[in-house]
Structure 1
């Protein structure tokens, strides 16, 4: 697939975001995880752009998006606001969302803060560090990781991330995709990733702290999790019990990068989900479940 030209969008605080918009049809907004960027969604965009307008962008701190120097320009609420600003710039009033890990948190916050802009959510691999008992240690670990990234520089940090445990299933399943994942990592900014660790990951609220707000989300939600993504299993069971209109898909022998590890299965699942939401089947089955029929 030919790489599309990127669009520059200014967030409402003036930070520039690099945005891709491919295809036509109902809009889908893709939100990447910490080690990813908009290129992480290439296999989804290649398939879904035949029927959907696929919108993806690099979060702030991820070149060619701007890398703000101050932590005040980063945060969980800010990450959600960026998605809203991108949609406004493209004159998209509402969209389907697909968010992985860090992007999954952002998608949930968009649904909490701007429910009218959300048609349905795919939330994949979400929940790392969110259990209340883990919050203090998680805060310390994310700040330590930020210092480490800045100290060793992007090339060394990219090699560490690509060689870490959560990327090894991708390496075994698809060595070429893993090599591309590693190559794309080297284009990131150590400063931007460090600020994301400090400003977004370390300071985001626990999912358990958000329970009342999560219970208010009445939009269709598909939770997706790899059965080898151990830190996210319990958070997804919590989300399944909490979100009123959701389903949980557990992908076997899959880790934290399901869109890269199992792109065909991932694409089929989210395409079926969007179709069932669009034709009303999702809500009809939800009504049957709720009534006990």
Structure 2
């Protein structure tokens, strides 16, 4: 059972496939190492692909102490995975909670990233509603402690950002819910409480995003309402970012639309590695529009 041990003694489960330039996949709150299977199979044809579970998730250790969770741990654990595998730099690909970790990984460890992919990023991170999001996350953590993850997983059947996935692919959605129901109650509640319930707003780091010149791909489903404006905002402030918007698609873009996601990511990686993913030319505000 492959595991990487962090400096604070937490064992993180991981799997890898393929050879070549490394890609580290970082999952969402409702996912785990299994969430990236469509990408592991596709990108392992050319790349060295690594998928792992956050602390508190299937295969990894589940610390009992709430203080062992949170955004700082998630960012550092991604770096520990690279250190354990002897990887100097990698493409970092994250979804939702994993996209937050990926963005801040690039901000803090810019020299360890070849590029960043931020999919489904921004829920609860805007200037408005951020404090409400954190309050709701704390309440959700308490519900998970009382009712368990099987009940939480079932509630996603009526989540509007997940409903398109359920309509398109009932079999795939059922597997997604089943995997989520298997998550540990303590690890999930602690993650919701300490990560979702305490993370800062993306907007708090505007100056640092403007200075982050890594190649960045932002991916958003047009029915992932909480992520639309933050994705557009990040496109505006990150100097070398591109935005891919998927029509009639919700939050879990990589498994809801795996072919489209893989193609967009593949094209991005090829251009980034060729040095052709470049910032847009400055706009001359005095130039004629037509």
TM-score, structure 2 length as denominator? Answer: 0.95
**What residue is the counterpart of 2:154 in the other structure?**
159
Equivalent-residue separation in structure 1 for 2:282 and 2:44 (angstroms): 34
Secondary structure, in 3 states, of the residue corresponding to 2:19? Answer: coil
Tell me if the contact between 2:161 and 2:225 (Cα under 8 Å) persists in the aligned partners.
Answer: no
Secondary structure, in 3 states, of the residue corresponding to 1:127? Answer: coil
Tell me if the contact between 2:95 and 2:120 (Cα under 8 Å) persists in the aligned partners.
Answer: yes
Q: Does 1:14 align with 2:9?
A: yes
Equivalent-residue separation in structure 1 for 2:203 and 2:151 (angstroms): 35
**Structure 1 residue 163: deviation in Å?**
4.2
**What residue is the counterpart of 1:263 in the other structure?**
258
**Structure 1 residue 34: deviation in Å?**
0.6
**What residue is the counterpart of 2:74 in the other structure?**
79
Equivalent-residue separation in structure 2 for 1:118 and 1:289 (angstroms): 24
Structure 1 outlier segments of 4+, above 4 Å: none
| Bigger share in helix | 1
Equivalent-residue separation in structure 2 for 1:271 and 1:162 (angstroms): 31
**What residue is the counterpart of 2:35 in the other structure?**
40
Equivalent-residue separation in structure 2 for 1:44 and 1:67 (angstroms): 26
Tell me if the contact between 1:129 and 1:138 (Cα under 8 Å) persists in the aligned partners.
Answer: yes
The counterpart of 2:83, out of the listed 66, 88, 101, is: 88
Question: Within 5 Å, which residues of 2 pair with 1:212-251?
Answer: 212-251=207-246
Equivalent-residue separation in structure 2 for 1:199 and 1:247 (angstroms): 30
Secondary structure, in 3 states, of the residue corresponding to 1:256? Answer: coil
**Structure 1 residue 161: deviation in Å?**
2.7
Question: Within 5 Å, which residues of 2 pair with 1:1-293?
Answer: 6-283=1-278, 286=279, 289-290=281-282
**What residue is the counterpart of 1:3 in the other structure?**
none
Secondary structure, in 3 states, of the residue corresponding to 1:18? Answer: strand
Secondary structure, in 3 states, of the residue corresponding to 2:15? Answer: strand
Equivalent-residue separation in structure 2 for 1:63 and 1:48 (angstroms): 23
**Unpaired segments of 5 or more residues in structure 1?**
1-5
Equivalent-residue separation in structure 1 for 2:156 and 2:34 (angstroms): 17
Tell me if the contact between 1:23 and 1:52 (Cα under 8 Å) persists in the aligned partners.
Answer: yes
TM-score, structure 1 length as denominator? Answer: 0.94
**Structure 1 residue 166: deviation in Å?**
2.4
**Structure 1 residue 131: deviation in Å?**
1.2
Tell me if the contact between 1:157 and 1:190 (Cα under 8 Å) persists in the aligned partners.
Answer: no
Tell me if the contact between 2:134 and 2:198 (Cα under 8 Å) persists in the aligned partners.
Answer: yes
Tell me if the contact between 2:22 and 2:48 (Cα under 8 Å) persists in the aligned partners.
Answer: yes
**Structure 1 residue 238: deviation in Å?**
1.1
Secondary structure, in 3 states, of the residue corresponding to 1:14? Answer: coil
Instruction: Tell me how large the CA RMSD over aligned residues is.
Output: 1.3
Tell me if the contact between 2:12 and 2:52 (Cα under 8 Å) persists in the aligned partners.
Answer: yes
Tell me if the contact between 2:55 and 2:61 (Cα under 8 Å) persists in the aligned partners.
Answer: yes
**Unpaired segments of 5 or more residues in structure 2?**
285-290
